[in-house]
Structure 1
């Protein structure tokens, strides 16, 4: 029951700070339906826009941990943490995104930037000073929720967009100097 309370508390963090999403994603525990489990594990995915947001999530998680662990018979442990830095938009990243938007315009597609607080290899690349645009994949909505969806007709359009972007770079149509950090 304590884990159910943790999940509810984590879900309650959603909507408290713009751009922060917390997804209690994977639950495991117990051995048989007729035995009260002595251990349960919850894996969580949290997405943030800033380092301050990450600290806020970590502090909230520590408060939840303390609240549960202060009860007799309960011991809540937290392992891990944020393994990707936030990815703010730099001038070089904006220049690269502008290229993507122009390629979309050429195909009649409106490509709009939407921060997700995502955590992928793009975050590590940006932290190392390499501009990148990730998540060029399919369109959809309600990311990180039970109502998340994908629009099937967007598979082909996004493949075309990726091809046009790569072709434009291969043919030298874009000023790559603008896409260097510090340029």
Structure 2
């Protein structure tokens, strides 16, 4: 049977996806993410998977690994890699409830990336229900910390990807519906200013404000942005009492670099800003980094297969390199053929307008099923 003829129904898929969207799972709430993992594990088990729960580390939630009956289980195959954490805090459902309107479905994490993960689950469900056998064994790996750079599960992902024939990531599709076959580097930095406290009203001149120093440094850092290497400060923590000159201020920076040389130059530039000035120390600590992923021949071949499948479905699948890192940075940089951003179509990810095109559920399920049936 042609996998494109499997009976995918977007409305039925949306009904199955809704509980996932309504199970809020912000990265920093390990218990909430683990509840989401348990829900996904239940649904995977129901379609015939053997599911292993991998306890969380470093304060993050659990991961789950699902395998399906196959005569070549344990041999190189296909890894479907996705994350079930979101950027939306508990309570977001009050502002962004699950709802359907004008062919769109709204909800926290529905686009990034619960919708895509559920699409692949449904694709495998229909394959198994019809009695088909994928040529290669398929493994699903869902992880809890992608939205903060994958500090706890990078090794798990790389270990699972090593030696596989292909890695598929159901991250949201590009704005034109296209896939991603390469990604720029994403680096994180922690900034710290250390000043001297004093009473802000009685002895202002005796203090050295860490907040004021950080404000000046933020302008310096963001002014280093170019088209090839960007710097953006997204988090600041400082102060507790308005009548105290703050002695400490912390900030977090996200940097995007298109090439390894751009990354190296950017790291050197931000680290060169360190030092003491006017009684305030400025310290830069490098955090997690997603490596540059440049498309290799195996990835291009995987894309060509996907492009032909999409032409049969009825649309053109474009592809290119992109910013906004994913766990594809890791597997692609390892040289494993990797196809990223083949999940649902939508807009507004990471905002209170996050939504998907409902009809893209069936469209992407056809693509997922065909890939799992045709990759060899």
TM over 0.5: yes
Aligned partner (choices 27, 30, 42) of residue 251 of structure 2: 42
Aligned partner (choices 224, 239, 242) of residue 13 of structure 1: 224
CA–CA distance in 2 between the matches of 1:166 and 1:31? Answer: 51
User: Per the alignment, do residues 118 and 6 of structure 1 end up closer, same or farther by CA in structure 2, a change over 3 Å counting?
Assistant: same
User: Is the contact made by 1:49 and 1:86 (CA closer than 8 Å) also made in structure 2?
Assistant: yes
Note if 1:83 corresponds to 2:286: no
SS in 1 for 2:339: coil
User: Per the alignment, do residues 42 and 102 of structure 1 end up closer, same or farther by CA in structure 2, a change over 3 Å counting?
Assistant: farther
Aligned partner (choices 264, 269, 273) of residue 60 of structure 1: 269
User: Per the alignment, do residues 104 and 81 of structure 1 end up closer, same or farther by CA in structure 2, a change over 3 Å counting?
Assistant: same
What displacement does 1:94 show? 1.6
Normalising by structure 1, we get a TM-score of 0.72
What displacement does 1:92 show? 1.2
User: Per the alignment, do residues 120 and 63 of structure 1 end up closer, same or farther by CA in structure 2, a change over 3 Å counting?
Assistant: same
SS in 2 for 1:83: strand
Aligned-residue Cα RMSD (Å) equals 3.0
Deviations 1:34-82 (A, max 9, x none): 32221111111112222111111111202332xxx34121111111245
Structure (1 or 2) with the greater strand fraction? 2
Aligned partner of 2:362 in structure 1 is: 160
Q: Which runs of 5+ in 1 are unaligned?
A: 177-183
CA–CA distance in 1 between the matches of 2:231 and 2:292? Answer: 15
User: Is the contact made by 2:231 and 2:254 (CA closer than 8 Å) also made in structure 1?
Assistant: yes
SS in 1 for 2:272: helix
CA radius of gyration, larger in: 2
SS in 1 for 2:244: coil
Bigger Cα displacement from structure 2, 77-86 vs 53-62: 77-86
After TM superposition, the runs of 4+ consecutive aligned structure 1 residues lying more than 6 A away are: 148-151
Aligned partner (choices 213, 233, 243) of residue 2 of structure 1: 213
Normalising by structure 2, we get a TM-score of 0.38
User: Per the alignment, do residues 86 and 164 of structure 1 end up closer, same or farther by CA in structure 2, a change over 3 Å counting?
Assistant: same
- Equivalent positions of 1:1-183 (< 5 A) are 1-14=212-225, 16-18=226-228, 20-65=229-274, 69-137=275-343, 138-140=345-347, 152-154=355-357, 156-157=359-360, 159-172=361-374, 174=375, 176=376
Aligned partner of 1:181 in structure 2 is: none
Higher relative contact order (CA 8 A, sep 6+): 2
User: Per the alignment, do residues 103 and 11 of structure 1 end up closer, same or farther by CA in structure 2, a change over 3 Å counting?
Assistant: farther
Q: Which runs of 5+ in 2 are unaligned?
A: 1-211
